[in-house]
C-alpha cells in the first residue's frame, strides 16, 4: 500500500489560494486519475464551529486576544475531522491531495502572534508534534507559498465576501492590517525555514494575472510529480 502525496497552496490572506488551488486541481484532474482537492477551514463541516467563533471575534476582537496555542487547536481539530471522514483512505491508498491551506496556516497565522524568536520556535515545534504526531495528520510533501504582501492583497480582500457568513464583514484576521503584515513577514521566514516553494505574485509593483501565477505553480508541481512518477 503506497502512501499518497499532499500538496499545499499557502499564502497570506487575499493572495489567491482558493483560486489557484481550484485551477491546479482542475488542470491536474485531467492528467491524474486519483486526485482530490480539500480546503481549510472546512466551513461546510460542524468541525469548524470553533474556528468560526474565533474568526467572528467571539473570544476577542483582535487575533492577539487568543493564545496561538488555543486557537491552533480549533483549526487542527477541523483538519482532523476532515482527514478522518473524507480523505484518509484515499490518501493512504496512494491518492494525490491538493489542499487550500493546511497546518502551514497555523504556522503562518498563529506563530505570527509571538514576537520572541525562541518562544516562536517552541511553538512551531509544539505545533508540529500536535498535528503530525498526536493527531497523526499527514506531513505535506510539497508546499507552494503565494508570495504577495498585504500591501497588494488588501485591495483584493476589500470587496471579497466573508467565506463563512457570505456578507462583507471581515473576520478578525482580515480586519487587522498590522496582523496581516506580521503574518506575511512570518510566512516569508517560514518559507525559507521549511523550504517551501515561493511563487512570486507581484512583478515590478503589479500583481501578476491569475493565469501567470497558475502557470508557475503548475510547472513547479509537475516538476515534483515527474520526480515521483513515470509521467
Least confident window among 31-40, 91-100, 126-135, 220-229: 220-229
Prediction pTM value: 0.90
Residue that has been written with the C-alpha cell 486541481 in this structure: 25
Spacing of C-alpha 193 from chain mean position: 16
The pLDDT tens digits for 144-153 are 999 999 888 7
Angstrom distance (rounded) from CA 172 to CA 229: 42
Sign, Cα dihedral of 211, 214, 220, 221: negative
pLDDT tens-digit map of 17-67: 999 999 999 999 999 889 999 999 999 999 999 999 999 999 998 899 999
Residue 171 has pLDDT above 90, yes or no: no
CB 15 within 8 A of CB 223: no
State the CATH architecture for 9-14+40-84+102-228: 3-Layer(aba) Sandwich (3.40)
88 burial via Cβ count (<10 Å: 0-12, 13-18, 19+): middle
| b/e sequence 55-71, b meaning 16+ C-beta within 10 Å | bebebeeebbebebeeb
Distance CA 120, CA 75 (A): 18
Asked whether 13 and 180 are in contact (CB, 8 A), the reply is yes
Given this model, what pLDDT does residue 175 score? 63
Q: Of 6-20, 79-93, 121-135, 216-230, give the lowest mean pLDDT range.
A: 216-230
- Give the separation between CA 71 and CA 53, rounded to whole angstroms: 10
**Section 128-138 average pLDDT:** 98
Map out the domains of the chain as residue ranges.
Answer: 9-14+40-84+102-228
Residue 174: is its pLDDT beyond 90? no
Structure letter (DSSP) for residue 162 = P
Query: CA torsion sign, 88 to 135 to 41 to 102?
Result: negative
Amino acid at each position: 500500500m503506497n502512501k499518497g502525496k499532499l500538496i499545499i497552496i499557502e499564502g497570506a490572506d487575499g493572495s489567491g489560494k482558493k483560486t489557484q488551488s481550484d485551477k491546479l486541481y482542475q488542470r491536474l484532474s485531467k492528467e491524474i486519475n486519483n486526485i482530490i482537492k480539500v480546503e481549510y477551514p472546512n466551513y461546510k463541516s460542524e468541525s469548524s464551529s470553533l474556528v468560526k467563533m474565533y474568526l467572528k471575534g467571539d473570544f476577542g476582537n483582535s487575533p492577539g486576544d487568543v493564545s496561538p496555542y488555543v486557537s491552533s487547536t480549533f483549526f487542527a481539530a477541523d483538519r482532523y475531522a476532515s482527514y478522518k471522514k473524507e480523505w484518509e483512505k484515499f490518501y493512504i491508498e496512494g491518492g494525490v491531495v491538493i489542499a487550500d491551506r493546511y497546518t502551514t496556516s497555523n504556522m503562518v497565522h498563529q506563530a505570527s502572534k509571538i514576537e520572541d524568536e525562541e518562544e516562536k520556535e517552541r511553538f512551531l515545534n509544539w505545533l508540529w508534534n500536535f498535528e503530525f504526531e498526536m493527531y497523526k495528520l499527514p506531513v505535506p510533501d510539497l508546499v507552494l507559498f503565494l508570495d504577495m504582501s498585504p500591501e497588494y492583497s488588501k485591495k483584493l480582500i476589500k470587496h471579497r465576501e466573508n467565506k463563512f457568513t457570505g456578507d462583507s464583514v471581515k473576520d478578525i484576521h482580515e480586519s487587522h492590517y498590522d496582523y496581516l503584515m506580521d503574518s506575511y513577514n512570518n510566512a516569508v521566514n517560514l518559507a525559507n525555514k521549511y523550504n517551501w516553494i515561493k511563487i512570486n505574485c507581484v512583478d515590478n509593483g503589479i500583481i501578476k494575472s491569475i493565469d501567470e501565477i497558475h502557470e508557475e505553480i503548475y510547472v513547479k508541481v509537475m516538476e515534483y510529480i515527474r520526480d515521483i512518477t513515470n509521467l
